[in-house]
Amino acid sequence: TAMMCDETGRHLVMMPHIERSLFQWHWANYPAGRKDEVSPWMEAFVNARKWIEEK
């Protein structure tokens, strides 16, 4: 994860690396009750592909 803030420290931006957490074994803590084949973060890539295909 990359993070930056302005000089005052009031504005923080974060760029998570969701490609590193696609599967449950990538997560430090994955709830026992979840039965996903892939993590919910995969939806970001699905949406990106749909957006590209529509352009």
Q: pLDDT tens-digit profile of 1-55? A: 678 888 888 888 888 788 888 888 888 888 888 888 888 888 889 999 999 999 9
| 16 phi-psi bin (left φ>0, alpha ψ -120 to 50, beta other) | beta
Instruction: Reduce the DSSP state of residue 14 to 3 states and report it.
Output: strand
Count of helix runs (H) and strand runs (E) in the chain: 1, 2
pTM of the predicted model as reported, rounded to 2 decimal places: 0.54
pLDDT value of residue 21:
81
**Domain range list for the chain:** 18-27+36-55
Q: For residue 8, what are the CA distances in angstroms to 5, 11, 14?
A: 8, 8, 16
pLDDT value of residue 1:
61
